[in-house]
Structure 1
Amino acid sequence: MTDGWGYRRPDDDDWTATQQTPPAVAPPASFWWSDALNDPWRDPHSPVALVPPAERVSAPVPEPLAEPDPTRRRTLWTVAGVAVLAGVLAGVLGGAMGVRFSDDRAVAPSVLGQAAATPQRAPDSLAAVARMVLPSVVTIRVPVEGSVSLGSGFVASAEGHIITNDHVVSGGSGVASVIFDDGTSSPAKVIGADPESDVAVLQVQRKDVRPALLGDSDAVVVGDPVVAVGSPLALRGTVTAGIVSALDRPIATNTDDGGNRYYAAIQTDAAVNHGNSGGPLVDAAGQVVGINAVIKSMGGSEESAGNIGLAFAIPINHARRVADEIISDGRAHRTVIGAEVEEAFRGPAGGVRLGEVVAAGPAAEAGLRQGDVVTSFGGRPLSEPTDLIALVRKTAPGEVVQVAYKRGPTSHNASVTLVADAD
Structure 2
Amino acid sequence: MRAILFCLLFFWQAHASAASLADTVEEIKPSVVAIGTYQQDRAPPLKFLGTGFAVSDGNHVITNFHVVSGILDAEQQEKLVVFTGNGEKARVYGAEKVRVDRMHDLALLKFEGPAMPVLHFGDSGALREGDSLAFTGFPIGVVLGYYPVTHKATLSSITPIVIPAQNSNQLTARAISQLRTPFRVFQLDGTAYPGNSGSPLYLPETGKVVGIVNMVFVKNVKESVLSDPSGIAYAIPGDYISSLIRDAGLTP
TM-score, structure 2 length as denominator?
0.72
Whether 1:328 aligns to 2:249 is yes
Shift of residue 249, structure 1, vs aligned partner: 4.0
Distance in 2 between residues matched to 1:157 and 1:175, nearest whole Å: 23
Whether 1:314 aligns to 2:205 is no
Q: Is there any run of 5+ residues in structure 2 with no aligned partner, and where?
A: 1-14, 73-77
Question: What is the match of residue 177 of structure 1?
Answer: 81
Equivalent residue in structure 1 for 2:21, among 121, 126, 136: 126
Distance in 1 between residues matched to 2:165 and 2:224, nearest whole Å: 18
Question: What is the match of residue 186 of structure 1?
Answer: 93
Distance in 2 between residues matched to 1:135 and 1:228, nearest whole Å: 14
Whether 1:161 aligns to 2:60 is yes
Question: Which is worse superposed, 200-209 or 239-248?
Answer: 200-209
Distance in 2 between residues matched to 1:298 and 1:208, nearest whole Å: 40
Equivalent residue in structure 2 for 1:286, among 185, 190, 207: 207
Say how many residue pairs are matched.
Answer: 207
1:154-176 per-residue CA deviation (whole Å, 9 max, x = no partner) reads 00122411000000000233941
Question: What is the match of residue 244 of structure 1?
Answer: 155
Distance in 1 between residues matched to 2:24 and 2:58, nearest whole Å: 23
5 Å-filtered alignment, 1:59-74, equals: none
Whether 1:141 aligns to 2:36 is yes
Distance in 1 between residues matched to 2:79 and 2:245, nearest whole Å: 18
1:351-379 per-residue CA deviation (whole Å, 9 max, x = no partner) reads xxxxxxxxxxxxxxxxxxxxxxxxxxxxx
1:35-75 per-residue CA deviation (whole Å, 9 max, x = no partner) reads xxxxxxxxxxxxxxxxxxxxxxxxxxxxxxxxxxxxxxxxx
1:253-306 per-residue CA deviation (whole Å, 9 max, x = no partner) reads 557994667531111112111111111111121111101001112123x34435
Shift of residue 123, structure 1, vs aligned partner: 8.5
The 8 Å contact of residues 276 and 293 in structure 1, kept in 2 or not, is answered as yes
Shift of residue 242, structure 1, vs aligned partner: 1.7
Distance in 2 between residues matched to 1:270 and 1:181, nearest whole Å: 26
**Percentage of pairs with the same residue:** 28
The 8 Å contact of residues 48 and 141 in structure 2, kept in 1 or not, is answered as no
Give the aligned residue type for 1:141: G
Shift of residue 129, structure 1, vs aligned partner: 1.8
Whether 1:215 aligns to 2:125 is no
Question: What is the match of residue 296 of structure 1?
Answer: 217
The 8 Å contact of residues 188 and 234 in structure 2, kept in 1 or not, is answered as yes
Distance 1:172 1:297, change over 3 A: same
- Which has the larger strand fraction? 2
Q: Is there any run of 5+ residues in structure 1 with no aligned partner, and where?
A: 1-119, 330-423
1:64-109 per-residue CA deviation (whole Å, 9 max, x = no partner) reads xxxxxxxxxxxxxxxxxxxxxxxxxxxxxxxxxxxxxxxxxxxxxx
Question: What is the match of residue 183 of structure 2?
Answer: 263
Question: What is the match of residue 198 of structure 1?
Answer: 105
Give the aligned residue type for 1:283: L
Note the aligned Cα RMSD (angstroms).
2.9
The 8 Å contact of residues 200 and 323 in structure 1, kept in 2 or not, is answered as no
Shift of residue 177, structure 1, vs aligned partner: 1.4
5 Å-filtered alignment, 1:351-390, equals: none
Give the aligned residue type for 1:195: R
Distance in 2 between residues matched to 1:240 and 1:154, nearest whole Å: 16
Distance in 2 between residues matched to 1:122 and 1:223, nearest whole Å: 16
Shift of residue 149, structure 1, vs aligned partner: 5.3
Give the aligned residue type for 1:282: Y
Distance 1:254 1:292, change over 3 A: farther
Larger radius of gyration: 1
The structure 1 segments of at least 4 consecutive aligned residues displaced by more than 6 Å after TM superposition are none
1:292-337 per-residue CA deviation (whole Å, 9 max, x = no partner) reads 001112123x344353121100000012212322x239xxxxxxxx
TM-score, structure 1 length as denominator?
0.44
The 8 Å contact of residues 58 and 117 in structure 2, kept in 1 or not, is answered as no
